[in-house]
Every structure is written in C-alpha cells, then in structure tokens.
Amino acid sequence: MDIRRPSDCELKEVLLLSPQAVFDGTLGEVKPTIEKVKSLMEPLLEKGGYYLIATENGKIIGWILLGASKDQFTDKMNGFIYELFVKEEFRGNGVSKLLMRTAIDQLRLNGYSEVRLSAFAGNQAIKLYESMGFKLRTVSMSLPL
C-alpha cells in the first residue's frame, strides 16, 4: 500500500466518491450532492488543505483530508482531519489507522501542536480515534422539533 498526495485525475475521483464518504461518516443522515461536496471541499483545498490517498495496485482504496482550523475561542490554529474514508471492501485492514498516522505526522511537521477532528455520535471510527489518543473535547447536541 502506498500513501501519497493524489494526481489531478485521482483528486477528481476522490471528489466524485466523497458524497459516499459523507453519507457513511454521518451514518446515513446526510446524502450530499457532488455539487455540495465540492462547495465544502474546494475552499479547504484553496486554503492549503490537501488529500492523502491510500492506493493498492494502482487503485484508490481510501483517503484522508487534512488542513488547518482556527479555534473559535482562542484563535489558535490547529491541524484538522476533515474527512477519512476507506472503501468498504478494504475496511478492517488497518488502512484508516495508516492514513491517520501519516496525516498526524504531516500536521506535526507543519508545526501544529494539536490535531482535532469531528465525528458523528455512533460512528465506528471513534474507536480508532480514541485508540490513537484523541480525547472527547466538545459535544454537539440536537433536538428534533
């Protein structure tokens, strides 16, 4: 398995598959259009965020989107994991963990002293994040009306 930045062609493939990543990551609550995904991801990419892809035999099997985020209270800039996705047939083989480790290493090299991320309650990836040392920091709640 190889982890690296995608080519322009590979980036297009990732963006086309990102609606499925959002759908899976939100446990089926959100099914965005490709246009919506692009409107969310393109500003991140323009501000220096970037994808890392995991490939095997020349095919993309997963990716992670990393960049920066400003703390709303302190204005401190932190590294941020915006998206993590592994195609279903490749899950359970450590791809997510390897993508996370690579992203964390890159964010550390970029000078960030902290890495943050958000996840929907009940997302299986939370177990991975906790096993890697992430701690619960905030809780977002909702009340359907």
Q: Could you tell me which of 39, 52, 137 has the C-alpha nearest to residue 101?
A: 52
Task: Give long-range contacts, CB 8 A cutoff, 24+ apart: 5-10.
Answer: 5/50, 5/51, 5/52, 5/53, 6/51, 6/52, 6/53, 6/60, 6/63, 10/53, 10/60
| 33 backbone dihedrals φ, ψ, rounded to 5° | -80, 165
pTM over 0.85: yes
β-pairing, 59-70 vs 50-56, is antiparallel
pLDDT at position 130 is 95
**Per-residue pLDDT of the chain in tens (145 residues, 90 and over written 9):** 999 999 999 999 999 999 888 888 887 778 888 898 888 889 999 999 999 999 999 999 999 999 999 998 999 999 999 999 999 999 999 999 999 999 999 999 999 999 999 998 888 899 999 999 999 988 888 898 9
Cα separation, 118 vs 137, in Å, equals 10
Taken as a whole, the chain contains a residue count of 145
Spatial CB neighbours of 99, under 8 Å, sequence gap ≥ 6: 3, 52, 54, 62, 63, 64, 84, 86
Q: Which domains does the chain have, with CATH numbers?
A: 2-131 (3.40.630.30)
